[in-house]
Chain A
Amino acid sequence: MTLRTRIIPCLDVKDGRVVKGVNFVNLADEGDPVELATRYAAEGADEICYLDISASPEGRGTLLDVVRRTASNVFVPLTVGGGVRTADDMRAVLRAGADKVAVNTAAVADPALLESCAIRFGRQCVVLAIDTKQRDGWFEVVVNGGRQPTGLDAIDWARRATKLGAGEILLTSMDADGTKTGFDLAVTKAITDAVDVPVIASGGAGTVDHCIDVVLRANASAVLAASIFHRREIEISTLKAAMASAGIPVRKVA
């Protein structure tokens, strides 16, 4: 009787299509996020994450349609992030069928957004995405896809944001992201020690052992990865079996 550690495949979605790093073997429609999400759910994903990287308003509208179609076909939880600026934006994504919404840049610009969203929708669906870069002896919050430094200390920001209303933290190390050399255990551990909400670890997953380490050594509640799943380098079922062998509780899928 215990809470399971979650495995979360993340899809980058632009103008309603999956982009970047997907091995499209055996998909009827190669860029359709709904088809890929459906497959991941069948393979044992505990949750699906979409990160919208559309730049245009038309792309945002298309995203809501993708969320709607996903919620209609995939019966595991869906977290959606990217481009959410206001409480009304969040409402639109939730009404389209998302269970949780991640905010990042907009929350740094206006921390009160976390509070107003938590009051309106409940903190359980307010996810704070934090992108960090290691500096000399500290971790800085960066925004706008990692391009813009903020001067904010990631640990302070995590503490403050959870007091304001964030119910979960999606933590991405921009240093580790894309390297496949493992999660940044130091920043992950620092954040999980600092807050009492669940922390999703992201950035750097390359092997099964990386995922095990970030759970056992940095207390991550969930592991998020993109390319290792998209390129089929690691099957979700293989990862779950290895985590179970390492003593991590995972959800079995029939």
Chain B
Amino acid sequence: MTTIAVIDHGAGNLVSIAQSLARVGADVIVATEPSDVVRADGLVLPGVGTTRGVMHGIDAAGFRTAIAQWDRPLLGICVGLQVFFDSSQEDDARCFGFVPGTVERLADAPRLPHIGWNDVSMDDDPLFAGIEPEATFYFVHSYAPRPAQKDTVIGTSTYGETFASAIRSGRRVGTQFHPERSGENGLQLLTNFVAMAA
């Protein structure tokens, strides 16, 4: 069985992500300290709120080094993806810098936050294996990644502007949307991540 550790840095809803990973067959650890992740095959970094808040929570729980040095598959979700980048315009937070680029407020959006189900134009990436092209996913955010390198983008969505909604940089992948709240399509994406980690 593939073991996935979900990092608990103090904010938000971990029940959904832990239970949806369990639903797709993973052995799930909710990690509250770095030693909890050692035996995991894959790591999930959830996040809601602000990049600064998430980075602060990661530091307070002592996870920064464990995440930065993680050499197996890593999935960042929502703000958990945003912290992959160099920095965020939201509160000038310094982030991990795994992926070159910044996080900026969505431009030209009719209303913010962007809340609800929207399309993802998906590249041919293993993260999207078995998902129909017309699939929609659940978003709830006002800021989005602005990657410096287009080849890190594996999915885009449009709300006002077209933005990067899924990212891959080697074994690090991330989604601006919430697979754990996106019904069957989201569960398929999590299945694919667990397969990457196996």
A51 at the interface (CB under 8 A from B): no
Which of B37-45, B62-70, B115-123, B146-154 makes up part of the contact surface?
A: B115-123
Which of A16-24, A91-99, A106-114, A181-189 makes up part of the contact surface?
A: A91-99
Is there an interface contact between B118 and A94, defined as CB atoms closer than 8 Å? no
Please give, as numbers and ranges, the residues of chain A lying within 8 Å of B79 by CB-CB distance. 122
Return the chain A residue nearest B138 by Cβ: A77
Please give, as numbers and ranges, the residues of chain A lying within 8 Å of B115 by CB-CB distance. 124, 167-168, 198, 221
Return the chain A residue nearest B15 by Cβ: A97
Is there an interface contact between A95 and B116, defined as CB atoms closer than 8 Å? no
A72 at the interface (CB under 8 A from B): yes
In the complex, what distance in Å separates the CA atom of A75 from the CA atom of B50? 23
Interface size on B, residues (CB 8 A): 43
Which of B92-100, B166-174, B179-187 makes up part of the contact surface?
A: B179-187
Interface size on A, residues (CB 8 A): 39
In the complex, what distance in Å separates the CA atom of A5 from the CA atom of B186? 19
Please give, as numbers and ranges, the residues of chain A lying within 8 Å of B20 by CB-CB distance. 75
Please give, as numbers and ranges, the residues of chain B lying within 8 Å of A198 by CB-CB distance. 111, 113, 115-116
Q: Given contacts A1-B119, A71-B19, A94-B12, are A76 and B138 in contact (CB under 8 A)?
A: yes
In the complex, what distance in Å separates the CA atom of A121 from the CA atom of B140? 13
CB distance from A249 to the nearest CB of B (A): 9
In the complex, what distance in Å separates the CA atom of A6 from the CA atom of B183? 14
In the complex, what distance in Å separates the CA atom of A97 from the CA atom of B121? 28
**Residue from the list A1, A76, A98 in contact with B13, Cβ < 8 A:** A98
**Residue from the list B112, B181, B187 in contact with A77, Cβ < 8 A:** B181
Counting chain B CB atoms within 10 Å of each CB, which of A2, A3, A168 scores highest?
A3
**Residue from the list A123, A196, A254 in contact with B184, Cβ < 8 A:** A254
In the complex, what distance in Å separates the CA atom of A29 from the CA atom of B121? 41
A4 at the interface (CB under 8 A from B): yes
Is there an interface contact between A97 and B13, defined as CB atoms closer than 8 Å? yes
Q: Given contacts A75-B181, A99-B181, A121-B49, are A221 and B12 in contact (CB under 8 A)?
A: no
Given A1-B119, A75-B187, 11 new contacts (CB under 8 A): A3-B118, A3-B139, A4-B118, A71-B13, A77-B178, A95-B15, A122-B49, A122-B50, A124-B142, A125-B49, A167-B115
Instruction: Show 25 residue pairs from A and B whose CB-CB distance is below 8 angstroms, ordered by the A residue.
Output: A3-B118, A5-B116, A6-B116, A41-B183, A71-B16, A73-B19, A75-B16, A75-B181, A75-B187, A76-B138, A76-B181, A94-B11, A95-B14, A96-B15, A98-B13, A99-B181, A120-B49, A122-B48, A125-B12, A125-B49, A125-B140, A167-B113, A251-B136, A253-B183, A254-B184
* Chain A residues engaging chain B, CB cutoff 8 angstroms: 1-6, 41, 46, 68, 71-73, 75-77, 94-100, 120-125, 167-168, 196-198, 221-222, 251-254
A-B pairs, top 7 by smallest CB distance, nearest first, are A122-B49, A97-B15, A71-B15, A72-B19, A1-B158, A251-B117, A4-B117
